[in-house]
Amino acid sequence: MASVPSLASNVQQRLADALTAALPEAGAADPLLRRSDRADFQANGILALAKKLGGNPRELAAKVVDAIGPNDVLGDIEVSGPGFLNITITDKAITRTLAARAADDRLGVPFAAEPGTTVIDYAQPNVAKEMHVGHLRSAVIGDAMVQILEFTGEKVVRRHHIGDWGTQFGMLIQYLIEHPHELDHRDGVSGEEAMSNLNRLYKASRTLFDSDEEFKDRARRRVVDLQAGDEETLALWQKFVDESKIYFYSVFEKLDMEIRDPDIVGESGYNDMLDETCRILEESGVAVRSEGALCVFFDDVKGPDGNPVPLIVKKSNGGYGYAATDLSAIRDRVQNLGADTLVYVVDARQSLHFKMVFETARRAGWLNDEVKAVQLAFGTVLGKDGKPFKTREGETVRLVDLLDEAIDRATAVVREKAEKVGLSEQEIVENGRYVGVGAVKYADLSTSAVRDYKFDLDQMVSLNGDTSVYLQYAYARIQSIKRKAGDRSPVAHPELALAPAERALGLHLDQFGEVLAEVASSYEPHKLAAYLYQLASHLTTFYDQCHVLSADNPPEVVENRLFLVDLTGRTLHQGMALLGIRTPERL
Ligand code: ARG
């Protein structure tokens, strides 16, 4: 299917051509087009050009206008101020462009000109530990970026860098050896049960570790066995990983998110590379020995005492840490997976770690001008009091509890309207889930990722304002109009003049592809959320001012309005799907 150039790029092209025709000596000049309140677009480029060539900008602007041949896209062009052009698009061009979008499955959105391979590191919980709101952010933002990038034609490799290695496993495994039946379970254990078993075991082994010196010794020796690859020890370690995965999958399913097993490559997945990574870094001089440890130093990273704080690649006791694993993962992702972009959806509190890891990888040549790495850093989820989100007892909030509560609230909201809409009990339950989970995802995605945000369920499931429910209702309302339309179908009529609300909606619809391209390259899903919210707002104004199915409308007006409504629905549906949010047909 064909991609459809946006009206903005169409106008841009025509103006650029006219500039060259009017002023051949200017070469290829940019008309600097942008959206405007005065007209549809404003071009500011002539001012700078006149300055450069030493002419009168208003005269130059008039010349450019003359050079624009007869056409049916640029309706009205007015020279204004010191030499701007105010441009109004013809109604015909708006409707035609939208009709071309509607004829395409992808709504006319082009594929990226030069797609590459992105490895995206997201949804990375830790084995034998509960998932909390921080893991929510990484999963939700990461999943949206995966969908958006794939939609633009990028090859995306997902990596869930779960915390599945480290000294704490010595204690867990040793405890399990001494209490052999603690992780036994029937088949079909639920995620919740799996987690509560793990939790119990974690706490019991921790208590023993802290109180019993002999157990502590045995646990420490167990770490050595694990690292040496002792078979029995590894088998027990695997048991913890498998049990945790049952739990992770149950949470991801609740989140309505597809996580695939082969994409889970945790910290342990790079164990075989750690030695070599350190050797390469040491031999190339990127890392140096300091107080027995293998370190990388940076001019601009210093502690409060003014002394440099190094990235420790190998500890003085010979152990490897988080940095060695991440550096090995970079080698794997670049050299084996063929990535040209690495994206890390990780808490902003790990920014210094990634800054040092990326800089080290650049010095080693694993990252360079062709292969870049970015951290899509996110802020903290706050409670209503503006402090990091905690339970009343001061504990971190379990992600599942939070989702369950959101679903409960949302189900209540859905139930209130259910009778009027004629929803069955099954639909109420299903929609309650989509609205509840959508509310949580949307709240997370609709503010810029680096910012902290307050977790406020009342606000999240509110029907008014910038919420997913508002967008979901907009979509459901569209579907209801389409059902009421009966045998009247959506048909574009470019010959019709458009009302102001129709033009505004149409021009906004036309920007979908541009917004997606921007979101994909800047890794800012909140801009897609903002676009969709504005789309729903334009739709609301349109409903207020333009009746769709009114008996007073001539048939072609009904068809054209149905066409606008239908395209809005498809754009909402596509955009929400890219954010990982469902749009129920009836609500
Ligand atoms: N498991 C880590 C955590 O819970 C996040 C891992 C981030 N990814 C990475 N490649 N280091 O904080």
**Which protein residues are within 6 Å of ligand 1, measured from CB?**
121, 124, 126, 161, 163, 326, 329, 344, 346
Q: Could you identify the residue written with the tokens 């921080």?
A: 134
**Minimal-distance CA residue to ligand 1 atom 4:** 125
CA distance linking residue 427 with residue 432, whole number of Å: 8
Q: Which of 135, 263, 320, 350 for mutating ligand 1's site (highest number of atoms within 8 Å of CB)?
A: 350
Cα of 525 from ligand 1 centre, angstroms:
21
Q: Which of 251, 333, 346 for mutating ligand 1's site (highest number of atoms within 8 Å of CB)?
A: 346
Full pLDDT tens readout for the chain, 587 residues: 579 999 999 999 999 999 888 888 877 788 899 999 889 999 998 888 888 888 889 998 999 999 998 899 999 999 998 889 999 999 999 999 999 999 999 999 999 999 999 999 999 999 999 998 889 999 999 999 999 999 999 999 999 999 999 999 999 999 999 998 888 876 788 999 999 999 999 999 999 999 999 999 999 999 999 999 999 999 999 999 999 999 999 999 999 999 999 999 999 999 999 999 999 999 999 999 999 999 999 999 998 998 999 999 999 999 998 999 999 999 999 999 999 999 999 999 999 999 999 999 999 999 999 999 999 999 999 998 899 888 888 888 889 999 999 999 999 999 999 999 999 999 999 999 999 999 999 999 999 999 999 999 999 999 889 999 999 999 999 999 999 999 999 999 999 999 999 999 999 999 999 999 999 999 999 999 999 999 999 999 999 999 999 999 999 999 999 999 999 999 999 999 999 999 999 99
Q: Tell me what pLDDT residue 47 has.
A: 87
Cα of 363 from ligand 1 centre, angstroms:
23
Q: Tell me what pLDDT residue 1 has.
A: 59
**pTM exceeds 0.85:** yes
Looking only at the bridges linking them, the beta strands covering 41-43 and 84-89 are: antiparallel
288 SS3 class: strand
Q: Tell me what pLDDT residue 28 has.
A: 76
Q: Which long-range contacts (CB under 8 A, 24 or more apart) does 106-110 make?
A: 106/1, 106/3, 106/151, 107/512, 107/513, 107/567, 107/570, 107/571, 107/574, 108/2, 108/3, 108/4, 108/513, 109/3, 109/151, 109/152, 109/512, 109/513, 109/516, 110/3, 110/4, 110/513, 110/517
Cα of 352 from ligand 1 centre, angstroms:
13
Cα of 159 from ligand 1 centre, angstroms:
11
Atom of ligand 1 nearest to the CA of 322: 11
